[in-house]
Structures are given as C-alpha cells and as structure tokens.
Amino acid sequence: MEPLRVGDSYGGYRARLVEELRDLGIRDMAVLAAVAQTPRHLFVPEALRNRAYENAALPIGKHQTISHPSTHARNLEAVGLQGRERVLEVGTGSGYQTALLSRLADQVISIERIAALADLARSALQEAGCVNVTVLVGDGTLGRRSLAPFDAIIVSAAGASPPKPLIEQLADGGRLVMPICRDSGQELVKFTRTGDGLVEQSMGHVQFVPLLGKHGFEDENS
C-alpha cells in the first residue's frame, strides 16, 4: 500500500480502519488505499471527530447520516473503477464517498437535494484537496443529461427500482449500484448495462435513507 500523504495525526486510526475493512472482506486494493488516504474526520461534525474512524454511521445534520465506511467500500468495490471513469453519485450527504471516488475515478459529479449539506460537503472536499469533483444541488433521480454518459453511478439512498433517467445516462458496460427496497428489507444491487439490457447482481443486505424525488419516493415535507 502507498505511504500516507495526508498531513494530519489520524493516520494510525485510518490504518486500523483499513484493517477492519479487510477483515470484513474488502479486497480491492485501490479502495483500501483510498480509505487509507482520505481524511474522514473532515466529513463529520466537529463534535464527532473522535469517532470519525470507527466503522459506524454518524449523524451529519438535516436528519441525514454519513454511511458506514464498510458500506462505501462495498459500493466502490462493486463499481470496479480503474481511474479513467466519469462517475455520477446521487446523494452527496457528507461528501466522504465523493472524496473516495475522487481518488478512484477521473471525474466525479455528485448531486445532493439538501443545499446546506451540499455546501458543507463542498468545503470539506476542498479542504481534502479533491479537485476533480463537482457537487450540484438538485434532484439526483433525474441525473444530469448534459454530462452523460457515466461509466458508473452510485445511488446512496434506497428506492423501489433504479430511476429511468439514470439507466438512460449509464454508458454501455457501465455499472449502477443502488439499495433496492424488497419485502425482506433493503438489498444492495449492482446493475450492469449491456446493450439494451440490464444484468442484476445482489450484493447483500443494507440500510439507507429513502431516495426522494421525481423518480424516487415522494417528499412528505414538500
């Protein structure tokens, strides 16, 4: 693994988190290296920084949470990035997964519906030195047609099925990973676009907040 280049005192905690992810079965070396090099403490509220390197979901305000690092690692392993891809993320939240993506892909577009979270994520991403990332405010279920096609799409909130615009904006051979609501609970599913079809592969049980928007669930507050 590459030596750490992040100028802070959390390197030991990050190394321990990487070991924990390895124990949980994460094998993709690029994903593990990204976790080792990304300052997660910048993406959690200051009062929770001492817990930033636990494999735990933590509150980030506006009734949202930063997901478990192991969840991000599973998402990232599933989309299998080589470094040259253009990636769309729906549900920026804290921006931590966006920061991991910035190390694993060429260009990252991330859409968040809550403007206050997008603002915080942008500042943290800037502080973390992520320059190949654009955070947009809006309904991510619509994707961003002007920037398509995407080689990979990660949806960080759960829906009944992948939003149609996102499937249309996926490149041929592209991968979309998203939590899908089933009778038995939520399941992380990887969809691979092959010509006109979609190949589906289940990646196990997960728990995410609902995907709201035109091609998601209705927002009860609007």
| Residues engaged in binding ligand SAH (CB under 6 A) | 64-67, 90-91, 93-94, 96-97, 111-114, 117, 139-141, 156-157, 209, 211-213, 216
Work out how close the CB of 157 gets to ligand SAH at its nearest, in angstroms, rounded to a whole number: 4
Tell me, yes or no, if 67 is annotated catalytic: yes
Q: Whose CB is nearest to ligand SAH?
A: 93
How far apart, in whole angstroms, are the C-alpha atoms of residue 62 and residue 58?
A: 12
Residue pair 81/69 in contact (Cβ under 8 Å)? The answer is: no
Is the Cβ of residue 113 or residue 172 nearer to ligand SAH in the bound state? 113
Ranges assigned E (strand) in 56-184 = 58-61, 64-66, 86-90, 107-112, 133-137, 150-155, 170-182
Is the Cβ of residue 140 or residue 162 nearer to ligand SAH in the bound state? 140
Is the Cβ of residue 173 or residue 212 nearer to ligand SAH in the bound state? 212
Work out how close the CB of 195 gets to ligand SAH at its nearest, in angstroms, rounded to a whole number: 27
Work out how close the CB of 196 gets to ligand SAH at its nearest, in angstroms, rounded to a whole number: 25
Q: Which of 198, 178, 196 is nearest to 188 (CA)?
A: 178
User: Pseudo-torsion of CA 182, 186, 188, 192, nearest 10°?
Assistant: 30
Is the Cβ of residue 25 or residue 59 nearer to ligand SAH in the bound state? 59
Work out how close the CB of 203 gets to ligand SAH at its nearest, in angstroms, rounded to a whole number: 16
Q: Annotated catalytic residue: which of 9, 67, 70, 184?
A: 67
Q: Which of 22, 21, 102, 95 is nearest to 54 (CA)?
A: 21
Just list the catalytic residues.
Answer: 67
